[in-house]
Structure 1
Amino acid sequence: MSTGSAVLRPRDTDVLRAELRQLATRGGIPVLFGGEVHGDGLVLSEFVGTRTGLLRGVVVRPSSGLGGASMVAGRPLSVADYRNASTITHDYDVPVLSEGIGSVLAVPVVVDGVARAMLYGAYRSKAPIGGRAVDLMIDSGRRLADELRIRDEVDRRLRLREAHAASAVSPEVIREVYAELRRLAADAEPGMRNQLQRLAEQLAGDPRPEQVSLTPRERDVLAQVALGCTNAEAAERLSLRPETVKSYLRSAATKLGTGTRFESVSRARLRGLIP
């Protein structure tokens, strides 16, 4: 039944067991059992009031027995005389009758149209299960369904967050790649230069409509400064003279309306010129 992280999500079996125990206390139903649906089979794993261990681990297939029929129908079903019931198959007579069970109610725990678990309540007499017991079991099935639905949604959101975190690239890495693409483009042949520059601009994003126009070299220099490079380091990486780097920074600052190299980097980022 569990579809999320085995670490973060509590065991669904535990909440199923708790519901059965609560039913035993409130409903006075002598025999209670249930289990989770795995694939196309229901595995009986939780028991209250049973005398033998013959039901433990029994796998109930769709449409087989009372539980299989209820699982497929998606609604509660019952029989007042299990041994002689003609509306169900009798694939599980040995473990059921060995418990002395006479009447049985099966309640599916349905989440988004799919049975995720089953609850059974039984008497050892051949009498219809009373209205109060039926209501209590149906309420338990609904509570379980609501709990599982909430757990599923929590798991879904956690998986989305984890997937986003796994696929996200840090801004620092983007800036390093952008700067390197710009540096390579500066020394590349015209065809390759255009391709590298297009890749770099994809990292930077779409420019704003009111965008100022910076020359390729002004962007190259700002990209290096954005990585924390000094003028001398930027000059070495771009095969320029330090004075030339200063000149590009001054012209970029004039266009951007900034007073310092760091303000130029900040405003260029805001306007989508560099990442």
Structure 2
Amino acid sequence: MKKTPVPASVPVHAVAPSRKKPAPSSTATLAASLTPSNIPPFIDSEPYYGGDRIVSTQVENGINYVVQCTVSAPYVNSSTVYMMSAGHCGPTGTAWNQGYFDGSNIYISGSMGTASSVQWGNNRIDGALLTGASYAPYIWTDGANYVSAHVTGAATVVPKGVNPGTGVCTDGSFTGYACGGTVSFTNACANISEGSVVYYVCGLDIADSATPIVQSGDSGGPVVVPTSGGVLMAGTISAQSNGGKEVLFSDVNYLQQVFAVSVAS
């Protein structure tokens, strides 16, 4: 989560994507463009994909903030399709737009929906379901060139030890699509600080990398296991340590269980 204190009023501008979203394409291992502009993951069109940036205005203790996070992937319960993000990004009822904040202005393509169910802290997992927009089971792997990967289901990851450990990629909207992570722990609980408050969060997996694969603002983004047909969802980015070389993520199977949903494919 990237949280910026702002004046009471911040200009909001509607922006259209630079071009129409093409038919879904194959997986690439290139990072997304890190310069905010009218291309994904900064400005997208419906149906929205995992890896898109989201932005909201929130008031906490009388202070106005612009909060930026990332969305993970669609999940489904019966006939309702939701988009998953991180619970610590905002409480139930938070209205999210798809777009970004450049430090002075908010640019949006439209509504990403409202947080209808949130889990965070107090021994709970870190997750949030958004509803109210159109979502598709793809994640951006190279937004600058409109390259995406199909989410084909849920993964079960294993830690390194007797096994080599499951390899994962992250897709936060600030870092881009980054591979090289290896799962080191599963089913963990951790103390995660949010400002001056420490929350005890469970249902986490942890992956380590030789290079940074996550940073502030990537919260809520997908953690995936690449496959020949696309990617399997491993979880949702929750926190980082070791300069972004360690990512803590909410395990997809716990998310499915807690929210009574299934990964859309």
TM over 0.5: no
Higher normalized helix content (fraction of residues): 1
Structure of higher RCO (CA pairs closer than 8 Å, 6+ residues apart): 2
Pick the TM interval, shorter chain.
Answer: under 0.3
Higher normalized strand content (fraction of residues): 2
Structure whose alpha-carbon radius of gyration is higher:
1
